[in-house]
Amino acid sequence: MSRLVAAAAAAMVAGLALAGCSSDAPRNSAGQVTAAASVDAFQVTLGDCTGPMKEGNIMSLQVLPCDDAHYFEAYARTELPDGDYPGEDAAREKADTFCTAEFKTFVGVATKDSSLDRFYMYPVKESWATGDREVLCFAGLDKGGLKGSLKGTKK
C-alpha cells in the first residue's frame, strides 16, 4: 500500500511514495521511539523523529529517538473527510494547507519565517480505498543533524 509524501520547501513541492511492511518501532511507556527502526509509513505517530526523506518509492521509513541526531519530526495530523477520493492534487493541497497552519502552532514561527523544511504524507487512491484518510506533517532539515524536539523552537 502506498501513501504520498510531498516536500514543501519554499515554493517547490516534490512528490514521494511510501510503502512497506516493517516491524514496529520499540517504544517506551510514553510512546516515544527508544531505538532506530524501519517502519511502515502507517506506523509513524505524532512526535516520532525520522531519518531522511527521499524521492521515489520507499519501502520503509526510519524512525529514531528524538534525542539522537535525526532529520524530521511528525508534528500534526488530521483526517480528510470521507467520500470519494478527492484526487492527488486536491489531497496534496489540503495537506499543504493544514500542515502550513499547524507549523506555526508547533514550531512557533510561520513557515515563511522558518529555516526548517516541511514534508507531509497524505492518502493516495489505493490507500483511500482501504480507509486511509490521514495527513501527517513533518518539520525538520533535509540535511539532518537535529537533536531534540522542534516544538516551540522558533527556528
pTM to 2 decimal places: 0.85
Contacts of 97 (CB under 8 A, 6+ apart): none
The pLDDT of 118-145, averaged and rounded, is 92
- 18 by Cβ neighbours in 10 Å (0-12 / 13-18 / 19+) ranks as buried
Q: Is 9's pLDDT higher than 50?
A: no
φ/ψ of residue 125, rounded to 5:
-55, -45
Q: Is 13's pLDDT higher than 60?
A: no
pLDDT tens per residue across span 30-62: 999 999 999 988 889 999 999 998 754 455 789
Contacts of 4 (CB under 8 A, 6+ apart): 15, 16, 17, 18, 88, 91, 92, 121, 122, 123, 124
Domain ranges of the chain: 2-140
The pLDDT of 110-123, averaged and rounded, is 93
- Output the average pLDDT for the chain: 85
The pLDDT of 123-149, averaged and rounded, is 93
The pLDDT of 75-98, averaged and rounded, is 95
Question: Quick count: other Cβ atoms within 10 Å of Cβ 54?
Answer: 11
